[in-house]
Amino acid sequence: MQLLVSPSSISEAQCSVAADIIDVKKPSEGSLGANFPWVIREIKTFARKPVSAAIGDFPYKPGGAALAAYGAACAGADYIKIGLAFPGKDHAREVIAAVTKAVKDEFPGKFVVIAGYSDYERMGSISPFDISPVAAACGADYAMVDTGIKDGRSTFSFMDEAALAQFTAGNRKLGLGTALAGSLKFDDIDALKRINPEIIGVRGMVCGGDRNATIREDLVKTALARIR
């Protein structure tokens, strides 16, 4: 299980270098808000770890999603991550196929991460369980669960341990990795170890509990030690 930490700036990224994956995003623009390409590029110069980039909580806009994914890959991201903030399997298939093609045709060594939301019912978006088979069929690499509305409620508030274990096991059968995120806390680590996804994504946990605060290097190291 790898630790992904989501800094919002170059200075926060410098405090996150102990993590397994450094995930560049802009929390002020949403759960999976996209940061600037020059921020991704600068972090890539010193990270010495894989860099992930969120490209947004996307509506049904396959062209815009494909271009954003291509831009993130060009900026140096190793993992390109999109949130599907709309309903419908057919629409999801179009967006996932477009994003995967945009990345894989030009950058075959990079990874595509397709995220759904544990609170999809209140988001009015597609269920993570419906995303996984489509993501696998389109050639994506990971299916992810995050929270769409950041009000302090965690993924475990909407999907219990059994549901998340089912999601993770189902992804493995499909040949997908699993990433779990969404206001995760230190108290969730034991459950996460039992579920055993490939990646857990955190921000608030390493900001002292408030995702709008600043990442603390000591808490990144504590989180890493706790999941090992």
pLDDT at 38: 98
- Measuring CA to CA, how many Å separate 68 from each of 55, 194, 216? 6, 35, 29
CA distance 42 to 35: 12
**Cross-strand bridge partners of residue 84:** 58
pLDDT at 228: 86
Q: What is the pLDDT of residues 195-225, one digit of tens each?
A: 999 999 999 999 998 888 999 999 999 999 9
Q: Which residues contact 56 (CB under 8 A, 6 or more apart)?
A: 29, 30, 32, 33, 34, 65, 68, 82, 83
- Measuring CA to CA, how many Å separate 55 from each of 40, 41, 62, 195, 224? 11, 14, 13, 27, 25
**Catalytic site residue 110?**
no
Structural domain includes residue 174: yes
Structural domain includes residue 204: no
Place of tokens 């940061």: 35
- For the chain, the residue count is 228
Structural domain includes residue 224: no
Number of domains into which the chain is organized: 1
Q: Does the structure show a pLDDT above 90 at 116?
A: yes
Reference 114, options 21, 157, 178; nearest CA is: 178
Reference 14, options 44, 58, 52, 59; nearest CA is: 44
pTM of the prediction?
A: 0.96
Catalytic-role residue among 25, 44, 49, 104: 25
Structural domain includes residue 213: no
Give the pair of three-digit tokens for residue 158.
Answer: 């909407």
Q: Does the structure show a pLDDT above 90 at 154?
A: yes
Q: Which residues contact 201 (CB under 8 A, 6 or more apart)?
A: 4, 5, 6, 23, 144, 146, 179, 180, 181, 184
Structural domain including 22 reads 2-197
Place of tokens 């994956």: 21
Place of tokens 């900001």: 207
Place of tokens 């991704």: 40
Q: What is the pLDDT of residues 42-87, one digit of tens each?
A: 999 999 999 999 999 999 999 999 999 999 999 999 999 999 999 9
**Catalytic site residue 193?**
no
Helix locations, the chain, DSSP H: 10-14, 37-46, 62-75, 89-104, 120-123, 128-138, 161-174, 189-195, 217-227
- Average pLDDT score over the chain: 97
Q: What is the mean pLDDT of residues 138-160?
A: 97
Q: What's the pLDDT band for 194 if we cut at 50, 70, 90?
A: very high
Catalytic-role residue among 44, 49, 61, 81: 81
pLDDT at 209: 85
Structural domain includes residue 216: no
pLDDT at 212: 82
Structural domain includes residue 223: no
CATH number of the domain to which 95 belongs: 3.20.20.60
Structural domain includes residue 227: no
Structural domain includes residue 156: yes
Contact status, residue 178 vs residue 197, Cβ threshold 8 Å: yes
